[in-house]
Amino acid sequence: MKKAIFNFGLFLLAVLLPIGCNSDDKKDQEFEIGIPISQIECEDNITNFFNSALPYSSIYHYSDSFFCTPEEFDKNICYVINSNTELQNVCRNVPRNLLPEIDFSNYTLIVGQEHAQLGNKPKDLLKKTLYETETGYILSLYYNKFVMGSGSVDTFPRFIVYFWGIYPKLKNNNIIIKLSIKD
């Protein structure tokens, strides 16, 4: 009888062990829902503008061009921009002649900021994907977690990730941002 119970236990272990081992693969695909929409390759002047106008991320300072008020700094914001006028309204501190020329008849610009969870500091962007769903869009931002050195007591009570991308013209402005930080 003991041998039968032991053999049954080994059988269960053999069956259940592979299920537990596959959980990491599923975690990496957590936000892969809907139809992926490819980001458009931009001209250098557009890429340079956004790379200089938006910090990669921030703990204590604002972007000089976007999200300039304290009210904006404390919020998760995603602008879906479909015209030069909308871009000018969002970039209040940038002279019009310095804004990049984007063909808004064919493309949509997404620009925003998202607050990371308490104690998480994103290190580098692993993946940024826009998915079309039945009700709108999901923008998935997937980062490596910044790991502090041993003995460090730093925590990051507030950390903001800035993002942008140009996509084919979107059907609506309903976008949900999903920020995921890989340990």
* pLDDT block averages, 10 residues each, the chain of length 183: 58 46 41 81 91 66 63 79 92 86 95 70 71 91 63 55 90 85 67
Q: Which domain holds residue 38?
A: 28-182
Query: Could you tell me if residue 17 is inside a domain?
Result: no
Is this prediction's pTM over 0.75?
A: no
Q: Is residue 165 within 8 Å of residue 159, measured between CB atoms? A: no
Side chain identity at 95, as an amino acid letter?
P
Please name the residues in contact with 92: beta carbons below 8 A apart, sequence gap of 6 or more: 68
Q: Would 20 be classed as within a structural domain?
A: no
Domain count, the chain: 1
Contact by Cβ (8 Å): 53, 65: yes
Indicate whether 88 belongs to any domain: yes
Is there a domain that residue 15 lies in?
no
> What is residue 124's predicted lDDT score, i.e. its pLDDT?
62
| Residue 12, in any domain of the structure | no
